[in-house]
Amino acid sequence: VQLQASGGGLVQAGGSLRLSCTASGRTSSNYAVGWFRLAPGQEREFVATISRNGYTTYYADFVKGRFTISRDNSRNTVNLQMNSLKPEDTAVYYCAADNTVYTSAASTDQLQYDYWGQGTLVTVSS
C-alpha cells in the first residue's frame, strides 16, 4: 500500500489544520493507521492512531482534547483534525499503516507499522 499525507502548512498558534492520509494500492480498511511526528532535534513520536474499523482510537497525552483522528474507509482516507495548535506542534507529520489482522486493534508503537507515507510539514507560529 502507498500512503500520501497532505494538509500541512503554516498556521498561527490557536489555529487549526486538517491532515489527510490517503491510501492506494490496497483498501485502507485492511490497516490500522497512525500519525507520528518528527520535530527538529527530536525523535519521531506517536500522535494518534485508529483501528481498521474505526472503533478504537488512542492519542498522545499532549494532543488529547485538541486533535481528533477519524477515517472514511469508502474514500481510503484517515484524517487528523488538529485544533488549538501550539508552536511546539511544529513538526513533519507522518501517517503509517499497520497490517494487523485485528479489526479493533490500534498500536501506539511505531515499530508495529509496516508502511509509511512521505510526511507533511506543519509549522505553527507564535
Q: How many whole angstroms separate alpha carbon 34 and alpha carbon 19?
A: 12
Instruction: Report pLDDT digits (tens) over 95-116.
Output: 999 999 999 999 999 999 999 9
Element (H, E) at 2: strand 2-6
Q: Which grid cell sits at 51?
A: 483501528
pLDDT of residue 121: 98
Instruction: Report pLDDT digits (tens) over 23-80.
Output: 987 776 789 999 999 999 999 999 999 999 999 999 999 999 999 999 998 999 999 9
- CA separation (Å) from 87 to 15, 39, 44? 10, 11, 17
Q: How many whole angstroms separate alpha carbon 9 and alpha carbon 90?
A: 10
> 3-state DSSP call for residue 81?
strand
